A = this chain, B = another copy of it.
Amino acid sequence: MLDAKTIAAKLEEAGVQATAQRIAIYQYIVCEADHPTAEEIKDWADQNFPKMSLATVYNTLNILVAAGLLKDYRFPNMSKVIYDSNVVHHHHFLDDETGQLIDIDPDVVEVTSKLKKEFHISQIQILFRGTRQTVRK
């Protein structure tokens, strides 16, 4: 759990003025939330912040994405945008039973593609789908 001061420093470092709302949202996404949608963030704010409009939630998220502090994703199964505080390149595993999204380290995955040489690949995004068997005794 990072404290507000650390969060504020990260915002400033990324060139984003650290306001109360921005600190709260970013802290929530980094520390508590797991791939939240704008709606989830708004719900959280309604319970944990004096007052924050939906527009501010969206504005803030867009600013944080533009500053490189968050990444936004769209996935096949849902119409809403998902925000991720993990901005280094990684893949995802989608649990089709729970809907949970789990980050996958690229080092765990190896891709060998024999595409024609006219394709210049700058990035590979993989979505694994399936179910996650929780270990039982």
- Chain A residues proximal to chain B, CB less than 8 Å: 72-76, 78-79, 93, 96, 104, 108-115, 117-135
Q: How many copies make up the complex?
A: 2
The answer to whether B120 and A131 touch across the interface, beta carbons within 8 angstroms, is: yes
* A115 partner residues in chain B, CB cutoff 8 A: 93, 104, 108-109, 128
In the complex, which residue of chain B has the Cβ closest to the Cβ of A73?
B76
The answer to whether A109 and B112 touch across the interface, beta carbons within 8 angstroms, is: yes
The answer to whether B126 and A124 touch across the interface, beta carbons within 8 angstroms, is: yes
CA distance A73 to B74 in the complex (A): 10
CA distance A114 to B113 in the complex (A): 18
CA distance A127 to B111 in the complex (A): 12
List 19 interface pairs A-B (beta carbons < 8 Å), by A numbering. Answer: A73-B76, A74-B74, A74-B76, A74-B78, A93-B119, A108-B113, A109-B111, A110-B113, A112-B112, A115-B128, A117-B133, A118-B132, A118-B135, A119-B133, A120-B131, A122-B129, A123-B128, A123-B130, A125-B126
